[in-house]
C-alpha cells in the first residue's frame, strides 16, 4: 500500500476513536446529571439524545454552519471563471467530485474546506488569496484543500467544530447548575450520591473545555503534513505550495475578519498566529505545525 493511503486509513481510525471518546465524555456528564436529578438512567438517555441530534445536525448541516460563520458566499463559473476552472481541473486530477466553490471577501490570503465527504464538500478561498498568489501557488493551495477533502479530514473538522462548541456550552450549563442550585439542593436532601455527582460534574465541567481544545488539535498537525504531501502528489509541483505557504503566513493579520477561534483550525494557515507561526513557542498549542517545517518537508520531496 502507498504510505500516503496507509496514513489516510490511520487518520480515519483516529477520527472514529476521537468521536467515541467524545461520546463517552458526553455520557459521563449525562450520568452525573442524572444522579443529581435522581435517576442516572434518565441522564444517560438525555445525553444520548442530545448527542445524536447534535451529531446529525453537524454531520448533515455542518458545512452550512461553517460557511455562515466564515462569511463565505458560493460563486459560479460565470462569476469567478479562473477560480472555478482551477478547482475543476484539480478535482479531475484527484479523481474526485468537484466541491462547491466559495469566496470570503477579505484581502487576508487564506483558504479552507468543509463538508462530510467528497460528494458533499465546499472549498473556500479569500479574495486576498486570489490577488496575491500566482497560478502555481494558487493551485498548490487549492490542491491542499482538495487533499483534506480526499483524506476525509473535512469530516472530522466540520463535525468537531460543532461538537467542541457544544461540549463547552454543556460544561458551562453544568457549572451554573452546580453553583446556583446544586449545593443548595444537596444540602436540603443530604444525599451522598448527589454530593458525589456534584464533585464529578465539577471535574467534568473543567475537563470538557480542555478535551474540546484537544479535539481541535487533533484536526490538524499530522493531517496538515499529510495534506501537503497529497497536494504535491496532485500537482506534481511541491514548490508551488511551499511558496504559497510562505506568502500566506507573512500576510496574516491578528484579529482580521477571518480570525475566529472556532474556525482557525480549518484554514491552511492559522489566522490567529500569522507570521508568528514560524515561532515554535507560539504554535505549541496551535492546530497547525510551524510553516517552516511544512515548507522544508515540501522542498525535500
Residue 136 makes CB contacts below 8 A (sequence gap 6+) with: 235, 237, 239, 240, 243
- Which is more confident, 25 or 6? 25
Active-site residue identified among 145, 224, 246, 292: 145
Q: What is the pTM of this model?
A: 0.76
- Which is more confident, 103 or 253? 103
For the four alpha carbons of 265, 269, 271 and 273, in that order, the dihedral sign comes to positive
Per residue in 158-177, pLDDT tens? 666 666 666 666 666 666 66
Angle CA 56–58–62, to nearest 5: 140
Per residue in 97-143, pLDDT tens? 999 999 999 999 999 998 888 888 999 999 999 999 999 999 999 99
- The pLDDT of residue 172 is 66
**How distant is the alpha carbon of residue 141 from its chain centre?**
17
How many Cβ atoms are within 10 Å of 277's Cβ, its own excluded? 26
Among the listed residues 224, 63, 222, the one whose alpha carbon sits nearest the alpha carbon of residue 158? 63
Per residue in 285-298, pLDDT tens? 566 788 999 999 99
Domains of the chain by range and CATH? 3-68+156-219 (no CATH), 81-154+221-299 (3.30.2010.10)
To the query of whether residue 145 is one of the catalytic residues in this protein, the response is: yes
- The Cα–Cα gap between 85 and 106 comes to 21
Q: At what angle do helices 81-94 and 135-150 cross, to 10 degrees?
A: 50
How many Cβ atoms are within 10 Å of 145's Cβ, its own excluded? 28
Show the cell assigned to 184: 443548595
Show the cell assigned to 113: 474546506
Average pLDDT over residues 219-246: 88
Phi, psi of 100 (to 5 degrees): -70, 145
- The Cα–Cα gap between 20 and 2 comes to 28
- The Cα–Cα gap between 79 and 186 comes to 62
Amino acid at each position: 500500500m502507498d504510505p500516503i493511503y496507509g496514513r489516510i486509513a490511520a487518520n480515519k481510525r483516529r477520527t472514529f476513536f476521537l468521536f467515541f471518546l467524545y461520546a463517552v465524555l458526553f455520557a459521563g456528564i449525562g450520568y452525573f446529571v442524572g444522579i443529581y436529578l435522581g435517576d442516572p438512567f434518565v441522564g444517560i438517555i438525555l445525553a444520548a439524545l442530545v448527542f445524536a441530534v447534535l451529531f446529525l445536525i453537524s454531520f448533515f448541516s455542518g458545512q452550512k454552519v461553517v460557511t455562515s460563520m466564515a462569511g463565505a458566499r458560493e460563486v459560479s463559473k460565470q462569476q469567478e471563471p479562473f477560480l472555478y476552472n482551477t478547482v475543476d481541473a484539480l478535482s479531475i486530477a484527484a479523481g474526485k467530485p468537484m466541491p462547491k466553490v466559495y469566496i470570503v471577501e477579505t484581502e487576508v490570503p487564506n483558504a479552507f474546506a468543509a463538508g462530510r465527504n467528497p460528494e458533499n464538500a465546499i472549498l473556500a478561498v479569500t479574495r486576498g488569496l486570489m490577488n496575491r498568489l500566482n497560478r502555481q501557488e494558487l493551485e498548490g493551495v487549492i490542491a491542499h484543500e482538495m487533499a483534506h477533502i480526499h483524506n476525509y479530514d473535512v469530516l472530522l473538522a466540520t463535525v468537531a467544530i460543532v461538537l467542541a462548541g457544544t461540549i463547552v456550552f454543556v460544561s458551562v450549563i453544568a457549572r451554573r447548575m452546580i453553583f446556583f442550585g446544586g449545593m443548595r439542593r444537596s444540602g436540603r436532601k443530604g444525599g451522598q450520591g448527589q454530593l458525589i455527582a456534584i464533585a464529578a460534574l465539577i471535574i467534568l465541567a473543567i475537563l470538557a473545555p480542555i478535551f474540546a481544545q484537544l479535539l481541535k488539535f487533533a484536526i490538524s498537525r499530522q493531517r496538515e503534513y499529510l495534506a501537503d504531501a497529497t497536494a504535491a502528489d496532485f500537482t506534481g509541483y511541491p514548490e508551488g505550495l511551499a511558496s504559497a505557504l510562505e506568502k500566506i503566513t507573512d500576510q496574516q493579520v491578528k484579529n482580521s475578519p477571518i480570525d475566529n477561534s472556532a474556525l482557525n483550525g480549518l484554514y491552511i494557515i492559522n489566522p490567529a498566529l500569522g507570521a508568528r507561526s514560524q515561532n515554535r513557542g507560539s504554535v505549541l498549542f496551535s492546530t497547525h505545525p510551524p510553516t517552516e517545517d511544512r515548507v522544508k518537508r515540501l522542498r525535500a520531496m
